[in-house]
Structure formats: C-alpha cells, structure tokens
C-alpha cells in the first residue's frame, strides 16, 4: 500500500487543522439520542402551541382571504414534522458499508478536473497519490480545462512526483467541467471511477471506503462526505461547514437507507465504470429547454444511474475537505448554479422515481413532495409575514423565535457527527440564509435555461 506518513497526521494536515483546533463539546451517544427525541417533542409542542401554527391560525381568523394560504401551510408543516420524525429514525438506522479489503480492492481511476486552481491542484493530487490503496490498482487522470493561470505548472510537478500514477491532459481552451470529466472517463481503465474537485483533499482511507459499497452489485454510485477545508478563514465558511455536515451526515445518510441518494457530489463521488460507459453519450449530450447542459454534471450522472435501476448510497467514512466561497457574491453564484441544476434534475427525477423499487419509490415521492412544497408555501407565508408584521411587529419576533428553535434541532444532528461548539454557526446560518439568500431560488427558476458556470 502507499502510506508515506502517519494517517492521522495526514488527515489533519489535509483538513488544514491542528490537534486542539476546535473546542470539543461534551456529549455522549446516549445524550444525543435522548436530546434528539426530546428536542423533536419539544419543538413540535412549541411550534404548534405558540409560534408558526399560532401565527397561521391567527392570520386565518383575522383575514378570511388568508386561509387559502394558512390552511395548506399548516397541513404542509404537519407533514414536515412527520417527515423529520421519519428521517430521524432512518438516520439512526444508517450504517456505512465496510471499506474494501486491500486484496479485493477494484481497479480505481480517480479523475480530477482543474481550472485556474493554482497550487491547490497539487495538494489534491498528493492526497490521492498518498492515500491508502494497493499499488498497481490506482490511476489518476488530471485534466487542465484550459486554465489561464499557473495550474498546468503544478499539474506537471505532480506528474513528476508521482510518474507511475498520474496522467495529465491539457485542453487548449476552457471546455467546461463536464467535458473535462468526460476526458477522464474516456481514458480511465478502472472498474470504478472516482471524481474529486481540484480544490479538495481526501483523507487517507477515503478510496478504500468509497470502493467498499461496490461489493453490492446493486450499487451504481457512492457519495462521499464533504466538509469544508477553509472553515477557519471566515464566517461564511464556518456556517457552510455545519450546513455541509447536516447535508451529508443527516440527509444523505437517510437517503442511503433506501438506496436513493439524489446527488453524488462532484467534490467526491464514485461510479461503477460499466454504468458510466452505458449512459455516457446521453450524459454528454444532455439538453434542457433546448440548451446544452454545462453544469450540474454530478446530479445529472446520479439521475442517469438511478434510471438504469442501480442504487446510489452514501459512505460516511469516505471524507473530502473542499474549499468554499468566503464572500457573499461568490456564495450566491454557487447557490444559483446549484439551484438551476436542482430544478432541471428534479423534473427528471420525477419521471425516474417511478422505476425505483416500491419502498424506495414511495419514500422518495413523499420526501420530494414535502421538500419541494417548501418553496410555494415559504414564499406565500413570506408575503403574509410582511402583511401581519405591519399590523403587529411582534409577529416578526415570534417567527424569528420559531426559526431559532427549528435550527436547534439541526444542532443535535450536527453534534452526533462533530462534537464541537461550531454548532452555533448552524443556528446563525438559519437566519443568514433566510434574510440574504431567499431570492436565489426564484431567480434560478426564471433563469433555469442559463448555461454560465458563474464561478469559472
């Protein structure tokens, strides 16, 4: 195996952390379980008796016309609470698959698309080349997608450092991330393709962990766990780190229990190579409203694999640390690109879901229905909030209090994964996203046909 240094030290270095970097939060497994159960009961009681439901009921009595918004909203909120309870049960049931045994590890092709990444791309290659994986069963394909900075110089340096592992490709002009990944898929000889963003580093055991679920022939794709590499560099990265942990260790863990992870992320995903080759032409030629698709390649590939009847799962023990935006403008561009992709691929998934096995089909239908109803319900309630805040300013305080309570529930899920006081940034993110990011989805809906990557 390739193991040039102590695994734990490498993991900490890769994450940009040092021992003792984060103050631990004292919590035990039994405390987490009881806190989750009591938190759900407490929050349901508070919300039903005093906060959002009280506001909606009062609104429907004060203005008869508002009942057309408040009554469906109350029904949706009730279904949402049941969904949270179901997710919590599934969250406890989730277990990561065992990592692949070195003697049985599949031939792996790791594809790293890069554009104007500078020195970071060499760190990405190094984290893969020095990972724990059997010699002779790993190859790395790095594709420079027409970078205009010194990215190619660092790719060449990585090739010189690991000549037996790394193959480099350079595009003369920028063709887009999908084209860069496609080049890697064409060149790859592996039984499993792994995609890693060039602004990310993996932990030593990640490749073996990603390979493990493919022992099950039903598995077509595996999502890794994404955390924030630069979480010490600003408030936005700190908040995003908590959001990422919840998105993966909670939501994707739940989805994994019924074999339908909706998006295996570009930052770290693994695909059964035979399935990728089967859907490759359709994936490359994908269009939406007559425009060629240039982003959202990760969820697009996930949908194609689900459509072939394979399961998609989450592997908690496969960890990557990725760089996230540090300022508001870049954050908005990232979310705008994600939401446009979300809209397009949700429409595709609405057709694909009917071919899933019956239990997964029912769960996925209910999950996506309740989740997507948050948009019409949320924006309708936002209009009501404006109206009733003008009548009674205390309404705004009540709603903000409810937001805080609901975000505290997420805190408990976070503490089970990372026992750190950083959970407070998760509460802050709830307010930040509600006040500053609410406009992104409607704008994405109106511009869903746009092709610009925005951050490239």
- pLDDT, tens digit, for every residue of 79-113? 887 888 899 899 999 999 999 999 999 999 999 99
Domain-terminating residue out of 355, 390, 424: 355
Q: Do residues 232 and 310 share a domain?
A: yes
Average pLDDT, the chain: 86
Q: Do residues 323 and 348 share a domain?
A: yes
Pairing relationship of beta strands 138-144 and 108-114 according to DSSP bridges: parallel
Handedness of CA 168, 171, 172, 177 (dihedral sign): negative
Residue-number span of the structural domain to which 218 is assigned: 102-355
Q: Do residues 349 and 369 share a domain?
A: no
pLDDT tens string 179-220: 999 999 999 999 999 999 999 999 999 999 999 999 999 999
pLDDT tens string 51-80: 555 555 565 555 665 666 666 777 777 788
Q: Do residues 217 and 157 share a domain?
A: yes
Residue 7: inside a domain, yes or no?
no
Nearest Cα residue to 155 out of 179, 130, 121, 203 = 121
Q: Do residues 86 and 128 share a domain?
A: no
- Average pLDDT (392-408) is 77
Residue 391: inside a domain, yes or no?
yes
Q: Do residues 248 and 331 share a domain?
A: yes
Nearest Cα residue to 57 out of 43, 67, 47 = 67
Q: Do residues 77 and 107 share a domain?
A: no
The pLDDT assigned to 378 comes to: 81
The pLDDT assigned to 211 comes to: 98
The set of long-range contacts for 31-36, using a CB threshold of 8 Å and a minimum separation of 24, is 32/412, 32/415, 32/416, 33/92, 35/412, 35/415, 36/88, 36/412, 36/413, 36/416
Q: Do residues 242 and 302 share a domain?
A: yes
Q: Say what the pTM is.
A: 0.88
Q: For residue 126, what are the CA distances in angstroms to 122, 159, 165, 243?
A: 6, 10, 11, 27
Residue 13: inside a domain, yes or no?
no
Domain-terminating residue out of 355, 380, 411: 355
Domain-terminating residue out of 355, 384, 416: 355
Q: Do residues 40 and 151 share a domain?
A: no
Q: Do residues 320 and 389 share a domain?
A: no
Q: What is the CATH number of the domain that holds 224?
A: 3.90.550.10
208-222, 278-292, 404-418 — most confident range: 208-222
Residue 4: inside a domain, yes or no?
no
The pLDDT assigned to 409 comes to: 75
The pLDDT assigned to 53 comes to: 57
Among 18-22, 216-220, 292-296, 404-408, which is the least confidently predicted range?
Answer: 18-22
Residue 254: inside a domain, yes or no?
yes
The pLDDT assigned to 433 comes to: 94
Examine the pLDDT at 19 and tell me if it is beyond 50: no
Q: Do residues 203 and 340 share a domain?
A: yes
Query: Among all chains, which residue has been given the structure tokens 């698709």?
Result: 293
Query: How many folded domains does the chain comprise?
Result: 2
The pLDDT assigned to 454 comes to: 62
The pLDDT assigned to 75 comes to: 74
pLDDT tens string 242-271: 999 999 999 999 999 999 999 999 999 999
Q: Do residues 281 and 230 share a domain?
A: yes
């Amino acid at each position: 195996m390739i193991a040039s240094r102590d695994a734990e030290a490498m993991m900490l270095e890769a994450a940009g952390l040092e021992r003792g970097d984060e103050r631990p939060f004292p919590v035990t497994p039994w405390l987490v379980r009881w806190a989750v159960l009591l938190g759900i009961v407490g929050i349901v009681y508070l919300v039903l008796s005093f906060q959002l439901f009280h506001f909606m009921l009062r609104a429907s009595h004060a203005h008869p016309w508002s009942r057309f918004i408040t009554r469906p909203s109350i029904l949706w909120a009730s279904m949402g609470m049941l969904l949270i309870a179901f997710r919590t049960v599934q969250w406890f049931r989730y277990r990561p698959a065992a990592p692949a045994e070195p003697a049985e590890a599949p031939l792996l092709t790791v594809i790293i698309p890069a554009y104007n990444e500078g020195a970071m791309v060499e760190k990405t290659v190094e984290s893969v080349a020095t990972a724990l994986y059997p010699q002779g069963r790993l190859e790395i394909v790095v594709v420079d997608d027409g970078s205009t900075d010194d990215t190619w110089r660092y790719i060449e340096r990585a090739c010189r450092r690991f000549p037996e592992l790394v193959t480099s490709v350079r595009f003369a002009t920028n063709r887009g991330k999908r084209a860069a990944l496609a080049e890697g898929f064409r060149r790859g000889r592996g039984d499993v393709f792994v995609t890693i963003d060039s602004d990310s580093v993996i932990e030593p055991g990640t490749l073996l962990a990603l390979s493990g679920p493919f022992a099950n022939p039903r598995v077509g794709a595996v999502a890794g766990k994404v955390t924030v590499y630069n979480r010490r560099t600003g408030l936005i990265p700190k908040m995003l780190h908590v959001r990422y942990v919840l998105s993966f260790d909670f939501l994707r863990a739940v989805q994994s229990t019924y074999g339908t992870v909706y998006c295996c992320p570009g930052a770290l995903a693994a695909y059964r190579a035979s399935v990728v080759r089967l859907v490759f032409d359709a994936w490359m030629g994908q269009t939406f409203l007559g425009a060629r698709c240039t982003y959202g390649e990760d969820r697009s590939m996930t949908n194609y694999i689900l459509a072939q009847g394979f399961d998609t799962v989450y592997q908690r023990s496969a960890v990557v640390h990725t760089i996230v935006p540090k300022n508001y403008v870049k954050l908005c561009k990232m979310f705008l690109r994600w939401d446009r992709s979300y809209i397009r691929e949700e429409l595709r998934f609405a057709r694909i879901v009917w071919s899933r096995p019956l239990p997964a089909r029912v769960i996925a239908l209910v999950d996506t229905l309740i989740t997507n109803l948050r948009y019409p319900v949320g924006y309708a309630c936002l209009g009501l909030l404006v109206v009733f805040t003008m009548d009674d300013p205390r309404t705004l305080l009540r709603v903000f209090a409810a937001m805080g309570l609901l975000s505290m529930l997420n805190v408990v899920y976070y503490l089970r994964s990372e026992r750190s006081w950083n959970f407070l940034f998760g509460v802050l993110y709830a307010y930040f996203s509600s006040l500053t990011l609410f406009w992104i989805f409607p704008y994405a809906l109106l511009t869903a046909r746009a092709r610009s990557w925005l951050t490239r």
